[in-house]
A and B are shown apart, each in its own frame.
Chain A
Amino acid sequence: MKEIDYLAPSSLGEAYAALQNGKTSAFLAGGTDIIVQLREGRKEVDQLIDVKHIPELMSYGWTDDGGLVIGASVPFAEIYEDDEIVRRLPCVIDCATLVGGIQIQSRACFGGNIGNSGPAADTVPALIALGATLTLGSAGGTRELALEDFFTGPGQNVLEPGELIITINIPPQPANSGAFFHRFIPRNEMDIAVVNVGARVDLDATGERIEGARISVGAVAPVPLFVAEAGDALVGETPTEDSFGRAADIAAAAATPITDMRGSIAQRVHLTRVLTYRALDRALERAREA
């Protein structure tokens, strides 16, 4: 690794100032991506800005209306060890427990997984299914945008120079709704998704009819996909093999994967259908338990 400066701002203001000192910067949160990228020469910057001393990025909590705001740098382990999150937002736990092994989960965080912007990022389809937004901050102020609008290409996103991810905001979930995330990998742990899918099903008060659904698919396009039309196709339907199958077909049709060492185009399209169907099915189970 080439020589590098290390800064550890203790406030957002200090971080914004550091971003404007004329040097090229990268953020250091869990370090599980950026340190490896710098060491292997895949990225080169003048300074690393350690964002783990900024209170807004290192805390999380529930809003009055039942949403969850997660600081960008809170390690996954801290999130999945929280019994209330386990109970109220199991879909968040689905993804947080799947990224890397225990060593990675001790340090890695939602902000890092999102900011790294890999097409197969495991937290993203789960969070998109939950309707998450991001709060981005810079010296000019903050802005909020839907997570699905953040990504622009593999490793690329809408972050402007001088801007950072402050929080991930999960809105209050509808009554009678459930969400589920899973992925396919060739082994049981510690691998990058061949395909990953997050789905949410919102039932009406009777529990018989679907009022809304959100489906997101990763690793099948240059960016994680929010397949709105697949969820929309379920509105007003009853949750059946037929309706879930049709939504899964729409998700599979939206997939434009590549063939690489992890899987072929045909396998990924097939997996998109299978995983979407199963994710809807498990989301439905959770909606009925809600």
Chain B
Amino acid sequence: MPRRTHIQTTLNGEEIDFLCEPRQSLLEVLRDELGLTGTKEGCNNGNCGACSVLMDGRVVNSCCVLGVEAEGADVVTIEGVADGDTLHPLQQCFLEEAALQCGVCTPGFIVAAKALLDSEPDADEGRVRHWLAGNLCRCTGYDKIVRAVLKASEMEEVSA
């Protein structure tokens, strides 16, 4: 039986603890141990951004973080983006702008875009495109995604 480490962390605003092996990535812990399957595995090597989560306010690829590194951290996943049943403006705008097709990249895009709008609510198109360069989408051609993020940035809840 592999040794498991006890980790305490804040996940989507809630203090939790879990057991994991040191070799497990944060992505594996989220999906396999905690049942939070909103965060997707794409490339599993740090290129595609599908597994993006916020860690202490910064967007990271959870496939390139170990679960044990979450000790004492503040982690936000796509499950923590909406406010109860009320969608985050980014989620609403992704729907309205049809900024997704297969949907595998979508949680990563929304989490990454949230990190941008949290710190730079007035980000322009160039800034949005640059920021999202670490998120790959094979369906949309990106235009709809960029439009959705810009639309969300104009909504009061985000820019306030």
Q: Which residues of A65-91 are within 8 A (CB) of B?
A: 75, 77
Q: For the complex, count residues of A whose C-beta is within 8 A of B.
A: 31
Closest Cβ–Cβ distance, residue B151 to chain A (whole Å): 20
Question: Is residue A245 contacting chain B, with contact meaning CB distance below 8 A?
Answer: no
Asked if B112 and A4 sit within 8 Å, CB to CB, the answer is no
Closest Cβ–Cβ distance, residue A35 to chain B (whole Å): 5
Asked if A32 and B61 sit within 8 Å, CB to CB, the answer is yes
Rounded to whole angstroms, the CA-CA distance of A268 and B66 in the bound complex is: 37
Asked if B44 and A39 sit within 8 Å, CB to CB, the answer is yes
Q: Which residues of B18-58 are within 8 A (CB) of A?
A: 21-23, 25, 44-47, 49, 52, 55, 58
- Set A39, A103, A188: member contacting B61, Cβ < 8 A: A103
Asked if B46 and A100 sit within 8 Å, CB to CB, the answer is yes
Closest Cβ–Cβ distance, residue A121 to chain B (whole Å): 16
Residue of A nearest to B22 (CB): A6
Q: Which residues of chain B come closer than 8 Å to A8, judged between CB atoms?
A: 68, 71
Q: Which residues of chain A come closer than 8 Å to B25, judged between CB atoms?
A: 35, 39
Q: Which residues of chain B come closer than 8 Å to A289, judged between CB atoms?
A: none
The 7 residue pairs across chains A and B that have the minimum distance between CB atoms:
A101-B134, A189-B133, A6-B22, A106-B58, A1-B23, A103-B61, A36-B45
Which residues of B pack against A, CB within 8 Å?
2-3, 5, 21-23, 25, 44-47, 49, 52, 55, 58-61, 63-66, 68-69, 71, 112, 115-116, 130-131, 133-135
Known contacts A5-B22, A50-B69, A75-B58; 8 additional CB pairs below 8 A are: A6-B66, A6-B68, A36-B64, A39-B44, A103-B52, A104-B46, A107-B58, A190-B134
A-B contact pairs, 9 of them (CB 8 A): A32-B64, A36-B64, A48-B66, A102-B133, A102-B134, A106-B55, A106-B60, A189-B133, A190-B134
